[in-house]
Structure 1
């Protein structure tokens, strides 16, 4: 009789176990891409968190809270996953198999490597993701969005004074970029610093930086206008990127010392001319007076 009772309770357990998974496999899917927004040619890591949400749905609650039966019912086996690429985005890593069990409110994270093609256009692309699990081998399908944006660091000239050149540097992207460095170049010109390290730039953040400009020949002053070029180097995730060159003209300020040295001789000449004119005028006037006095006599 005792054995029959054990078999009866075991059948009840199995029946409740199967009923808990009759409708769905309660797995929540949370994807994250690093970098958050790709550039053409970028490689990225797509992290997909799989969480057992059975407790949130109330699955297995009829088995009795805290019982062994409920724990078994709430645990979910994950058999395999599959990530499908799309036009312009390639999945470069393998799918997962036999991931094991995840208990109530537990989660595991799987990682895929993806790569954007060089000629991909800006936009949002949907990658098809499937996870197969549960005791009845249910497949859950999700569309995972991946953003692509070709925008790089923007640069524009700011107001400059004396021998400094000021530059506004902006990040127009939706995501943070790192190791931002501005590298200047121009023929016959020496910049100080020779490159400007900004570091991390958040989305829509703007920095104003300054370069000192002088001739690369210590014995020759910078007197002629010059064309300046600036390139921004930065990291988008683990990908090193470089912006298109930004060009701007630069006119050196007038050297007040040289200008004064030039004006000084002119001033001396002007004084001599004025003094000479005054002396001649006075001499001529005195001569006229002398002649008039002689005639009257």
Structure 2
């Protein structure tokens, strides 16, 4: 075979390799970038002041199950914003592990001739060097909205609904804020100020296992002395979140720069294996039928609703098919009885799966609690008793036949006499 015969095949192979070399990196980069999510965590001061610098914190989350190898973000400001230096436009995080977050602070200058309103910045990001860039736009409020009030906001309480979350759950974080002032005015250095308080902006930031689904809160109202406001955020717990108390950041922009604040909000996460189903009686059936008794315990640290238990086996029937219990408080114990009937060989051991389901707030959960072995045996003395009854019937029948025959013979003898 000469080179002219090989040339067409080599040309096709080279074309295929060239296409793969172009296509595969593009797909890889695209898939890496699309597993990332970028957002503005906060900016201070709020609103950005005309003719001054504003700090903007950009966060990027990797919500995939695999790491991103070379994550970079780039800030692209538009008028009236300018970067303090073009060299500071990009931030390379390098490797970003699964369910982790990178945060970087950018410094922007607000043009002196800017007008109050809303300005726009763009954030570009990519998952690996040379990969595709994805761009998103965000608004930043510009103005001079600082207020000469002296009311102080305090975080009164932080709770979740449901009160304890589980991996995979969607819940609500409820933050109760109060203006701690007790009077209408206060005098400082000879000057009288009102004690109103304002929440200009408030944001909740998740961690590697808790994602905040809600946008930042924007408030334009006034809280008088002693007034209370509840701020709600929807959050989602990762399926692999470890059990324990997780802290997520809550940032508040108040009446002026001096009244901004940050808190750590606790969120409790418990295991999905919240029910114990314990056999409290024998796991044997007599002659293929019987009743199985179980103690059901709620070991979760809060109440569960719509609790039910069912048994599943290829060789048995159960009644009821699913035992509905309803709401169970924490540490509550409930005893259930389920009738069972073997539909296979009566002298066999059958595998039975114990499955529990419940609701934690609006979230449905179901899992296999345990796998048990249930034996079907003959009732004690069951065969012997049946044999005795049979023999008694035979003896009684024989005795009756003998008595009848004897009586008939006596009657015949009398007639002959």
Match of 1:193 among 313, 320, 333: 320
Which region of structure 1 is more displaced relative to structure 2, 255-264 or 227-236?
Answer: 255-264
Match of 2:291 among 139, 145, 164: 164
Match of 1:51 among 178, 198, 201: 178
Partner of 2:332: 205
Deviation at 1:224, TM superposition (A): 3.4
Deviations 1:88-131, CA, capped at 9 Å, x for gaps: 11111101112411122221111111111111111111011011
Structure 1 stretches of 5 or more lacking a match?
1-16, 64-69, 270-297
Match of 1:154 among 266, 276, 295: 276
Q: C-alpha distance in 2, partners of 1:266/1:39?
A: 65
**CA 1:221–1:76 in 2, change beyond 3 Å: closer, same or farther?**
same
Structure 2 stretches of 5 or more lacking a match?
1-146, 395-417
Partner of 2:204: 83
- Moved beyond 3 Å, runs of 4+: 220-225, 252-259, 262-269
**CA 1:222–1:211 in 2, change beyond 3 Å: closer, same or farther?**
farther
TM value normalised by structure 1: 0.71
**CA 1:254–1:107 in 2, change beyond 3 Å: closer, same or farther?**
same
Is the CA contact 1:214–1:222 (under 8 Å) kept in the aligned structure 2? Answer: no
**CA 1:197–1:98 in 2, change beyond 3 Å: closer, same or farther?**
same
Is the CA contact 1:152–1:243 (under 8 Å) kept in the aligned structure 2? Answer: no
Is the CA contact 1:157–1:248 (under 8 Å) kept in the aligned structure 2? Answer: no
Match of 2:301 among 174, 178, 186: 174
Deviation at 1:169, TM superposition (A): 1.1
Deviation at 1:251, TM superposition (A): 2.6
Partner of 2:375: 251
Written as runs of structure 1 = structure 2, the 5 A alignment for 1:265-284 is none
RMSD: 3.1
SS in 2 for 1:118: coil
The reply on whether 1:120 has 2:241 as its aligned counterpart is: yes
Deviations 1:216-267, CA, capped at 9 Å, x for gaps: 5xxx895533222110011112111112341222234634665521344578
TM value normalised by structure 2: 0.52
Q: C-alpha distance in 1, partners of 2:213/2:240?
A: 18
**CA 1:241–1:97 in 2, change beyond 3 Å: closer, same or farther?**
same
Q: C-alpha distance in 1, partners of 2:303/2:384?
A: 49
Structure number with larger C-alpha Rg: 1
Higher strand share: 2
Is the CA contact 2:184–2:225 (under 8 Å) kept in the aligned structure 1? Answer: no
The reply on whether 1:60 has 2:185 as its aligned counterpart is: yes
Partner of 2:23: none
Deviations 1:160-199, CA, capped at 9 Å, x for gaps: 4871101111111111111111011112321111100111
Higher helix share: 1
